[in-house]
Amino acid sequence: MTMTTAIEVRGLRKDFPVREKGILGPRTLKRAVDGLDLDIPRGRVTGLLGLNGAGKTTTIKILATLLRPSAGTVRIDGLDAVADARAVRRRINLIAGGERMVYTRMTGRENLWYFGQLYDVPKADLRRRTGELLDLVGLSGAADTMVERYSRGMTQRLAIARGLVNRPDYLLLDEPTLGLDAPIARDLRRVVADLAAHDGTGVLLTSHYLAEVEELCGHVYVISAGRHLAQGSPAELKAATGSHRTVRLTVTDPTERTRAAADAFGATRETLPDGGELITLRHPGDMAGPLTAAVFEAGGSIGGLEIAEASLEDAILTLAERGEAGLAGPGSGRPDATTIRPGAATAPPEAATAPPGAGTAPSEAAAAGVKGGTP
C-alpha cells in the first residue's frame, strides 16, 4: 500500500439497482460511475465536471463514505474509504449545495458541537474550533439563537461552518454555491481558495458555475456517463477542444479585396442589412490584430471589432458531445479519453474488488438526512 497524501480513486464503479417501467418492472442495474481514476492532492482545488447525470454526485458521495462503491478503490492518505471509513471520516467533509445539513431545532453553536462530536473532534479542540468557525462565517452574534430563527443566508453560512468543523484534510464540495446568495458564494470561494493555498486542504469541487471552476481549479476532470473524458487545467481543456476566441470584425465598405483578405484567414462572412460585412473568425490564438490589419491593408474601413474569449463551458460541452458521440458510435465501447496534460495520464485501474453489500454506509442518515429534525 502506498502512503500517498492524496485521495486516489482507481477503477471506481457504482451500479444502482433500478426497476424498468415502474415498481413491477424487471430489476436492472444503472451504472452511474464506470471505471473512474482520480487523483485529488492536498493544497489544490480539483474540479470534477460533466453534464447532468454524469456521475459527479455519486462519485463525491462515495468519497465522503456516504455510498459504497460497487467496484474499485478509494484511498485517502492510504486509508480505504470502505474498510477504514471511520478514520477516513475524520479527514474529510462534504458541503453540498441545496442540502443544508444542519438541525433547525438547535442553536448554531449546538449544531457545530454536535457535528464536531460526530466527526470525533476532541472536546477541547472543538470548543475553540466552534468559536473560530462561527467567527469565520459571521455568526458569532447569532451563535446561541435557534437555527429555525436564522435567515436563509445565515443557515447557509452555518452549513459551511459545519463542513469545516473537523478541519478536513479533504473538502468535498458538490455544487456548493447552488442557491447561495452572491455575497455568501463569494465568501465561500475565498475560504476555499484560502484553505487550499494556506492550510494545504485538498478540495474536490463540482459546479455548474464554470466561472467558479476557472477561478478555483488548477486541474479539472471531465466525465460523461460515469467515464473519464479528459483532464487538464481549464486553459488546457479550452485549447485541446479547440475552444476558440471569436473575433467579429465589421467592414463598412466590403470589396473583393477585403473579402479575399478575410478568406485567407478562413473567416466566415455575412452581409449586413446596411451593406457592410461581418467577418467572424474562431481561432485558438489571438487573431484580432492580424485580421484587422489585413482587412485594413486591403482598403477596408473597420466599423467595429469584438473579441469573445473562449469559455470553459464551450470546452465542456464540446468534450461531452464528443464523449457521447464516442459512446454512440458503432463498435466503440468507450470514448477516446483525452489526456490533455502530457505525463499526467492516469494509472490503469487496479484489479478492483467489490466490497460486500453495496449500499449506504451507516453515517448517511447522520450526515445527510437531517433537514429540520431533532437528532
Ligand X SMILES: Nc1ncnc2c1ncn2[C@@H]1O[C@H](COP(=O)(O)OP(=O)(O)O)[C@@H](O)[C@H]1O
**What is the contact surface with ligand X in residues (CB under 6 A)?**
16, 18, 30, 32, 50, 52-58
108-118 vs 123-136: helix axis angle to the nearest 10? Answer: 130
Rounded to a whole number of angstroms, the minimum distance from the CB of residue 174 to Mg ion is: 6
Rounded to a whole number of angstroms, the minimum distance from the CB of residue 221 to ligand X is: 12
- Please count the residues of this chain forming the interface with Mg ion, following the rule CB under 5 A: 2
- Residue (53 or 122) nearer to ligand X, CB: 53
- Please choose which of Mg ion, ligand X, none residue 311 contacts, taking the beta carbon within 5 to 8 angstroms, the exact cut-off set by kind: none
Report the side by side order of strands in the sheet with 6-19.
27-41, 6-19, 71-76, 79-80
Query: Which three three-digit cell numbers place residue 348?
Result: 490503469
- Please choose which of Mg ion, ligand X, none residue 52 contacts, taking the beta carbon within 5 to 8 angstroms, the exact cut-off set by kind: ligand X
Q: Using CB positions, name the residue nearest to Mg ion.
A: 57
Q: How do beta strands 92-96 and 170-174 pair? A: parallel
Contact between 94 and 154 under an 8 Å Cβ cutoff? The reply is no
- Residue (199 or 313) nearer to ligand X, CB: 313
- Residue (174 or 187) nearer to Mg ion, CB: 174
Rounded to a whole number of angstroms, the minimum distance from the CB of residue 204 to ligand X is: 13
Report the side by side order of strands in the sheet with 268-271.
268-271, 277-283, 245-251, 302-308
Query: Which three three-digit cell numbers place residue 53?
Result: 447525470
Rounded to a whole number of angstroms, the minimum distance from the CB of residue 32 to ligand X is: 3
> Is residue 280 at the binding interface for Mg ion, with CB under 5 A as the rule?
no
Rounded to a whole number of angstroms, the minimum distance from the CB of residue 93 to Mg ion is: 17
- Residue (30 or 86) nearer to ligand X, CB: 30
- Residue (59 or 318) nearer to ligand X, CB: 59
Rounded to a whole number of angstroms, the minimum distance from the CB of residue 207 to ligand X is: 11
| Pattern 7-46, Mg ion, x by CB under 5 A | ----------------------------------------
Contact between 19 and 76 under an 8 Å Cβ cutoff? The reply is no
Report the side by side order of strands in the sheet with 45-49.
92-96, 170-174, 202-206, 45-49, 219-224, 227-232, 338-339
Rounded to a whole number of angstroms, the minimum distance from the CB of residue 174 to ligand X is: 7
- Please choose which of ligand X, Mg ion, none residue 233 contacts, taking the beta carbon within 5 to 8 angstroms, the exact cut-off set by kind: none
Q: Which of 250, 348, 345, 263 is nearest to 300 (CA)?
A: 250
**DSSP notation for 53-119:** TSSHHHHHHHHTTSB--SEEEEEETTEETTTTHHHHHHHEEEEETT---S-TTSBHHHHHHHHHHHT
Residues 40-59 that bind Mg ion (CB under 5 A): 56-57
- Please choose which of ligand X, Mg ion, none residue 53 contacts, taking the beta carbon within 5 to 8 angstroms, the exact cut-off set by kind: ligand X
- Residue (94 or 133) nearer to Mg ion, CB: 94
Rounded to a whole number of angstroms, the minimum distance from the CB of residue 33 to ligand X is: 7
Q: How do beta strands 202-206 and 45-49 pair? A: parallel
Contact between 315 and 242 under an 8 Å Cβ cutoff? The reply is no
- Residue (68 or 109) nearer to ligand X, CB: 68
In 3-state terms, what secondary structure has residue 27?
strand
Q: How do beta strands 202-206 and 170-174 pair? A: parallel
Given the rule CB under 5 A, which residues bind Mg ion? 56-57
